[in-house]
Amino acid sequence: MLSDTSPSQTIGLSFLEIITIFIAGLLNNQIIWFVLAILVGYAFCRSAKQAATAGAGFAVFAIVMYLFFSFMFGAHAPQSNSTTPINLITLLARTAEWLLLSAIGGTVGGLVGFTARTRPGVLLVLPLFIVARLALNGVFSWQSPISAIQNIVFVLIGLFSIAYTLLKWRASRQIPYSSA
């Protein structure tokens, strides 16, 4: 898939190709999926149960679309790191694992979004998730110019969620002005 690998250099790529690879990489990322599950829970859900269900549904839909398009474009995701072919049982087990982990992440994201309406401090889960994800990606993810910019966008999303949480916390602590 285009979004699974970004070129190590941008030399020879047109501006449109660079933008396409950048956007594809953003949209095909667990961090963005988690952010979108949070937004679904925050903006559209009226109960915790609805937020959990909608977040899980969104995340499972996202991973199914990823697997579908991976298959359509010749990648047999999820793949093994070994050179031996993957048998059907292993492929089904890995697919089930991805679906389960997506459902769990989406459920957490939806609940975080719903809870953030009344307790914005719960949004601090997002920068923690971003730090963990970037740590798992390692230094390699900063070597390509396109993936480095994507990482910077993720860091900015984390900083925005911290700033939003602090502003909400500060606003809740404000004493209304009185003209006594």
Contact 55, 33 (CB under 8 A): no
Q: Whole-angstrom Cα distance, residue 24 to residue 109?
A: 21
Calculate mean pLDDT across residues 149-172: 93
Q: Which of 78 and 101 is assigned the larger pLDDT?
A: 101
| Residues of the domain holding 158 | 2-173
In a domain, 152, yes or no: yes
In a domain, 178, yes or no: no
26: closest CA among 137, 149, 108?
149
Q: Which of 100 and 23 is assigned the larger pLDDT?
A: 100
In a domain, 180, yes or no: no
pLDDT in tens, 48-65: 999 999 999 999 998 888
pLDDT at res. 109: 96
Q: Whole-angstrom Cα distance, residue 166 to residue 159?
A: 11
Q: Whole-angstrom Cα distance, residue 180 to residue 161?
A: 37
> And the tokens for 101?
């982990």
The number of folded domains in the chain is 1
pLDDT in tens, 13-37: 888 888 888 888 888 888 999 999 9
pLDDT at res. 78: 52
In a domain, 92, yes or no: yes
